Amino acid sequence: MEKISEQMHNTGYGTAVVGTGGPDTNYGLAQCYGDLSLLDYVLCYAEARTVLPQCFPYNGSGIFLNGPGDNAVCGNTTRRSTNFQAAAKKVVWSAVQAAPNNEGSLDTRSCRASLENASSSILGCLPWSEGRALNTGCFMRYSDRDFLNKEQENGSSEDNVLVIVVAVVSSVIVLVVGIAIVAYIRKHRYIQMKRRVSQELHHNSLNFKYSLEKATNSFDEVNRLGQGGFGTGVLADGREIAIKTLYFNNRHKAADFYNEVNIISSVEHKNLVRLLGCSCSGPESLLIYEYLPNRSLDRFIFDKNKGKELIWDKRYDIIIGTAEGLLHAKIADFGLARSFQEDKSHISTTIAGTLGYMAPEYLAHGQLTEKADVYSFGVLLLEIITGRLNSKASEYSDSLTWKHFQSGTVEQVIDPCLVLDDNHRSNVLNEILRVLHIGLLCTQEIPSLRPSMSKALKMPKKKEEHLELEAPSNPPFIHESTMELHD
C-alpha cells in the first residue's frame, strides 16, 4: 500500500505486487482521473484505503469513488435537443477511440472493449443532460456542464515553480538564522558556565589543584594501581589517597558534576569508599578517594591458603556488604552515570572492564545497562561460592555451574575451603545453594530475564528467604563454538 501511495503522489497511478507468484501473492492497483491535481490524487487514494479493509477476508475487491459500479447512472431528467444528443454521441465515441492510447492497467484491446460496453450503456441515458457508466474499471461520463478540472488542465507551471522556489529559499533562510541564534546562545552559556565553575573550583576546599602532582611524585608510574586509571599518593598531611582519572564526554556539565562531588563527599558508609575531593583544572579531571590497603577480594578467595580464612559467615557478610554498598551508590546517584544523556536507556561506549565479569551484550555492542551490572554481580556471587575465577577457560566457569545445577549435583562446585560444621551443615548449605541460585539468575544470557538490580541485591538477605526463586535459564557461552547475543 505504501508503494502505491508513493506512486500516487507523483502520477495519480500506482501498482504493487507482494509475494513471489504463489497462492499468497497479492496484486494492487490504484488510479485517479487524469484531470485531478496532485492533492486530489492523495486524498482520493487515502479515502479508498479507509474503505478497503471492509472487504477482508475476500481474495479480491474493487473500490470506485464517484462511480456507478458497472451500471449506467443518468443525471437529471432535463431533456436536451437533438443537436446535444448528436454532440454527446460524438464525444463518447471520440473518448472510446482515444482512451487506448493512454497508459493504464489494460492493453489496447481490453480497454477498447470495456469503453465500448460503457458507451453502449451511457448512450442509453440520452436525451437526458448527463450520464455516467463504469465497465470493468473503465469510467465514462458526459454532461452539459463542464466537469473537467480547468486549474489542472490549464494551470501555469511557471507559477508553481515560482511558489516552490520562494518556499524553499525562505525555509533555508529561516533555518540558517535559527541555527545561528541557537549556536550563539549555547556558546554564551558555555562561556558563563566555565567562568562560574572556575571560580567555584578555585575557592572550594574540595579542590586539589596543585597538591596531586606533588602527592604522586609527578604521577610516577610506580604509583599506578593496575590498568583501570587508578593511582596512589600521599598528601602533605600524611593521608594515603587513591586517584582515578575521569573521562567526560562533550555533553557533560561540569557545574552539575561538581555539585554532586560536594554532595557525595559528605556521605559516609561502611561499604562505600569515601570521596575526598577532585581536580578539574588540568587537562584531565581527577577524583581523589581514601586508599584501602587490603587490595582486591580475589587475592583471598582464589588462594588455597587464604581462602580457608574466609569461612561462610565472612563470605556471606562480603556478599551482603557488597549489595548494601551498591544500593547506597544507586541512592546517591553519583554523577559518573549522568555524564551521558538522561533520556537514554543505555550508554554506548568503548569496551572497558575485566573479561569474565562483562555481560555478553556489553562485549558485543558496548551498551552499558543496569542488566549488565546485574550480570557482573552474579559472576561475583558464583566466584565467592566456588572459589574459582570465572573465565571461559576455567573448568569452574558459570557454564559448568549451570550444568551441575541442571543435573542436581551443584554441591560439587562449592569451594572445598568452605568446611561446613556438621551441626549447622543443613542451614548453611541451604544459604550457599540459594546464593548460587541467585548468581545463576543474574548471569542468564538474555538480559530481560535477569532480575532488576534492586531485586538482585535484596534476594541474598536472610529475611528474604521466604521468596521463591525462579528457575534460571542458561548462561552465555554454554557452547564454545556459538554465542547468542540479545539486545
The residue ranking higher by pLDDT, 108 or 207, is 108
- 16 and 85 inside one domain: no
- 17 and 41 inside one domain: yes
Q: Are 364 and 273 in contact (CB under 8 A)?
A: no
Helix axes 398-407, 425-442, angle to 10 degrees: 120
d(CA 187, CA 310): 57
pLDDT for 476 beyond 50: yes
pLDDT for 320 beyond 80: yes
- 477 and 451 inside one domain: yes
Hey, what amino acid is at 207?
N
What confidence score (pLDDT) does residue 336 get? Answer: 37
**Number of domains observed in the structure of the chain:** 4
Collapsing DSSP to helix, strand or coil, 75 comes out as: coil
Pairing of strands 13-18, 240-246: unpaired
The band of 102, judged by pLDDT with boundaries at 50, 70 and 90, is low
- Domain membership of residue 62 (yes or no) is no
Q: What CA–CA distances, in Å, run from 48 to 3, 38, 40, 374, 434?
A: 15, 16, 12, 52, 62
- 457 and 443 inside one domain: yes
Phi, psi of 482 (to 5 degrees): -135, 155
Instruction: Mark which of 87, 117, 152 sits at the end of a domain.
Output: 152
Tell me the helices (H) and strands (E) count for the chain, helix number first.
Answer: 15, 12
- 318 and 448 inside one domain: yes
Model pTM above 0.85: no
What confidence score (pLDDT) does residue 449 get? Answer: 92
- Domain membership of residue 218 (yes or no) is no
- 162 and 302 inside one domain: no
- 335 and 369 inside one domain: yes
- 147 and 160 inside one domain: no
Mapping DSSP onto H, E and C, the string for 327-356 reads HHHHHHCCCCHHHCCCCCCCEECCCCCCCC
- Please tell me the least confidently modeled range out of 47-51, 429-433, 453-457: 47-51
- Domain membership of residue 411 (yes or no) is yes
Q: Partners of 15 in the beta sheet? A: 29
Q: Are 132 and 122 in contact (CB under 8 A)?
A: yes
The band of 26, judged by pLDDT with boundaries at 50, 70 and 90, is confident
Grid coordinates representing 329? 551508590
Rg (the chain; Cα; Å): 39
Q: Are 173 and 231 in contact (CB under 8 A)?
A: no
Query: For the chain, what is the mean pLDDT?
Result: 70
Domain interval for residue 171: 156-203
Q: Are 169 and 184 in contact (CB under 8 A)?
A: no
Q: How many residues does the chain have?
A: 487
d(CA 67, CA 139): 7
Collapsing DSSP to helix, strand or coil, 240 comes out as: strand
- 344 and 438 inside one domain: yes
Collapsing DSSP to helix, strand or coil, 475 comes out as: coil
> How does DSSP classify residue 221?
G
Tell me the pLDDT tens digit for each residue of 399-444: 788 888 888 888 888 888 876 655 567 778 888 889 999 999 998 9
pLDDT for 482 beyond 50: no
What confidence score (pLDDT) does residue 264 get? Answer: 64
- Domain membership of residue 44 (yes or no) is yes
Number of neighbouring beta carbons within 10 Å of residue 419: 10
CA neighbor of 396 nearest in space, from 409, 406, 382, 408: 382
Helical H runs in 280-397?
Answer: 298-301, 312-332, 360-365, 370-386
- Domain membership of residue 29 (yes or no) is yes
- Domain membership of residue 363 (yes or no) is yes
- What mean pLDDT do residues 225-231 have? 52
- Domain membership of residue 243 (yes or no) is no
Tell me the pLDDT tens digit for each residue of 274-309: 777 777 665 566 777 777 666 666 666 776 777 777
Hey, what amino acid is at 423?
N
- 188 and 306 inside one domain: no
The band of 269, judged by pLDDT with boundaries at 50, 70 and 90, is low
Grid coordinates representing 333? 546517584
Collapsing DSSP to helix, strand or coil, 20 comes out as: coil
Q: What CA–CA distances, in Å, run from 384 to 88, 275, 365, 432?
A: 96, 27, 28, 10
Tell me the pLDDT tens digit for each residue of 142-159: 777 776 666 554 444 555
- 134 and 160 inside one domain: no
DSSP per position, 24-60: T-EEEEEE--TTS-HHHHHHHHHHHHHHGGGGTTSS-
Show Cβ contacts of residue 267 under 8 Å, excluding neighbours closer than 6 positions: 274, 275, 328, 332
Helix axes 157-203, 254-264, angle to 10 degrees: 40
- What mean pLDDT do residues 161-176 have? 83
Q: Partners of 276 in the beta sheet? A: none
Q: Partners of 230 in the beta sheet? A: 225, 244
The band of 327, judged by pLDDT with boundaries at 50, 70 and 90, is low
d(CA 205, CA 277): 8
Grid coordinates representing 206? 574540595
DSSP H or E segment with residue 283: none
Pairing of strands 26-31, 13-18: antiparallel
- What mean pLDDT do residues 216-241 have? 61
- Domain membership of residue 181 (yes or no) is yes
- What mean pLDDT do residues 197-225 have? 52
- 197 and 313 inside one domain: no
- What mean pLDDT do residues 8-27 have? 73
